Amino acid sequence: MISVDYSKVLDFINLNDLPRIGQEVTEIHYMLHKREGAGSEALGWLDWPIMDHKETIAKINACANRLRKISDVIIVIGIGGSYLGSRAGIEFLDNYFSDKKPEIVYAGHHLSSEYLCGMISHLKDKNFSLIVISKSGKTTEPAVYFRILKQILESKYSKEESKERIVVVTDPKSGILRNMANKEGYESFDIPENVGGRFSVLTACGLLPLACAGFDIKKILKGAEMAYQNFLNPDVLKNDCYKYAAIRNILYRYGHKIEIIANYEPKLNSLSEWWRQLFGESEGKNGMGLFVSKVGFTTDLHAIGQYIQDGERILFETVINVQKVNSSFYLPEDKEDADGLNYLLGKNLTEINNSALIGTMLAHIEGGVPNILINLQELSEEVFGYLVYFFKKACAISGYLLGVNPFNQPGVEAYKDNMFALLGKKGYEDLRKKIKQKGL
């Protein structure tokens, strides 16, 4: 499915670093699997790929088929972990400029009024359905968008039909959305209590939108299961997933404060966004953690390539390469060679792109930027499932190596509290006073 090449890092670390950190990694491995570490109440994702999901898969596929039949547009309402995973998967697997029906559209992942208005006029004369994804149902962005879009839906369809066009993915037992689903009879799916948002892509959170987009979710879980089996070895030297965690930790200790995830295929851009949440939210705490950033090459070689090559030497790159793409295109002949490109004849675009990748890695390494290379066999459902599990487990190991709880996100609450206070929500009166005293 994937292979990882760490050879372009060796010049930047000590030969003993990996064996030295290996003991620590092995201990963390056992702590993780015995569920003895911080945040281990949120380890539902760990054995997820080897659990039996037959029934859920059948139910998701049935629901997706139903929605696909009645919808020109399916709107997926969610933010953070309830948004990034499904989008990452769909863009990973979909064709560019796809005019497939139904169209998958995202909402509730910000508060833009402009976006909402554009969407509403886009929906005119189209049949649409809503999938609303939120564990608590309380998160402001998706809740606001859901209330608005639900009203539009209900003004377009009969009460009965509206109910068939709303599907809820939320906590199995409690919360606003669960109560709504129970009361109104919406079809619903569970986000298990013990799976955090950014670790939820292999639950209905990610799988329902992916199935709606026409992809084979069984294969995604199959890929994740292979990753589960392949990354069980407690020995860092024999476990590429743990090695990724260890090496990023070693590089961080050496002062590489920024990890850039790079790809050469824009289909991976949303995967990079998902990755950024996974690692940024898991590790960025207590004044520590790698700052995670993403680039799409070769586009960004003409944007921040200069900085990477020659700016502050506080970076390293994790480069994702797709080995086999679905389509390849040879440069056509031009007898006059007016553009001077004939030296590329007989080479397809993928080979040229691959030379850019190798050439860039060489240049960046020479410029002082360690490079980790992750090769993906192809852009398939199995590889997607495999890759997300690889990153999730690496993230858990990496967070523990850093000494943080990789499964909480206390810092995300701060802005919400201020926002609630400013908006006059009940229970935030004291904070509101405090803010107003500051003259804001």
CB burial of residue 212 (10 Å; 0-12, 13-18, 19+): buried
**313 Cβ contact list (under 8 Å, min separation 6):** 368, 369
Whole-Å CA distances, 377 to 230, 267, 317, 399, 408: 16, 14, 20, 27, 33
176 vs 226, beta carbon nearer a second copy: 176
Residue of 3, 23, 179, 229 interacting with a second copy (CB under 8 A): 179
Q: Is 5 helix (H, G, I), strand (E, B) or coil?
A: strand
Token pair of 352 as six digits: 């040229």
18-23 CB contacts, 8 Å cutoff, 24+ apart: 18/236, 18/237, 18/243, 18/246, 18/247, 18/250, 19/237, 21/236, 21/246, 21/249, 21/250, 21/401, 22/235, 22/236, 22/237, 22/246
Per-residue burial over 402-433, b if 16 or more Cβ lie within 10 Å, else e, is: bebbbbbbeeeeeeeebebbeeeeeebeeebe
Four-CA torsion 228, 229, 235, 236, nearest 10 degrees: -40
Catalytic positions are 281, 302, 416
173 binds a second copy, rule: CB under 8 A: no
Binding region for a second copy (CB under 8 A) out of 14-22, 136-144, 208-216, 382-390: 136-144
Compute φ and ψ for 332, nearest 5 degrees: -75, 160
Among 3, 14, 151, 174, binds a second copy (CB under 8 A): 151
Alpha helices in 215-318 (DSSP H): 217-230, 240-253, 269-283, 305-310
Could you tell me the smallest distance in angstroms from the CB atom of residue 371 to a second copy?
12
Does residue 163 bind a second copy (CB under 8 A)? no
Q: Which is nearer to a second copy, 50 or 423 (CB)?
A: 423
Residues 61-90 close enough to bind a second copy by CB under 8 A: 79-81, 83-84
193: tokens are 């209590």
Shortest spacing between CB 46 and a second copy, in angstroms: 21
Q: Which of 5/193 has CB closer to a second copy?
A: 5
- Among 15, 16, 54, 113, contact with a second copy (rule: CB under 8 A): 113
The number of angstroms, rounded, from the C-alpha of 183 to the middle of its chain's C-alpha atoms is 32
DSSP single-letter state for residue 195: B
Nearest residue to 391 via CA among 253, 171, 242: 242
Candidates 11-19, 44-52, 57-65, 173-181: pick the segment binding a second copy (CB under 8 A): 173-181
Q: Which stretch binds a second copy (CB under 8 A): 24-32, 211-219, 230-238, 343-351?
A: 343-351
Q: Interface with a second copy by CB under 8 A: which range of 49-57, 206-214, 276-284, 384-392?
A: 276-284
What part of residues 26-55 is at the interface with a second copy (CB under 8 A)?
Answer: none
Q: Which is nearer to a second copy, 221 or 361 (CB)?
A: 361
* Window 278 to 337, contacts with a second copy (CB under 8 A): 280-281, 283-289, 291-293, 296-299, 301-315, 325-329, 331-332, 334
* Residue range at the interface with a second copy (CB under 8 A); choices 50-58, 158-166, 216-224, 353-361: 353-361
Among positions 47, 72, 355, 436, the unique one binding a second copy when judged by CB under 8 A = 355
User: Residue 132: which H helix or E strand, with range?
Assistant: strand 128-133
Residue 344 within binding range of a second copy, rule CB under 8 A = yes
Site for a second copy in 390-429 (CB under 8 A): 409-412, 414-426
Closer of 4 and 431 to a second copy (Cβ): 431
Binders of a second copy among residues 369 to 388 (CB under 8 A) are: 379
- Residues in region 246-275 near a second copy by CB under 8 A: 257-258, 264-267, 273
From 360, 371, 380, 398, residue interacting with a second copy (rule: CB under 8 A): 360
Nearer to a second copy, 68 or 432 (CB): 432
Report the distance separating Cα 116 and Cα 75, nearest Å.
Answer: 12
3-state secondary structure of 363: helix
Rounded to an integer, what distance in angstroms lies between the CA atom of residue 391 and that of residue 132? 26
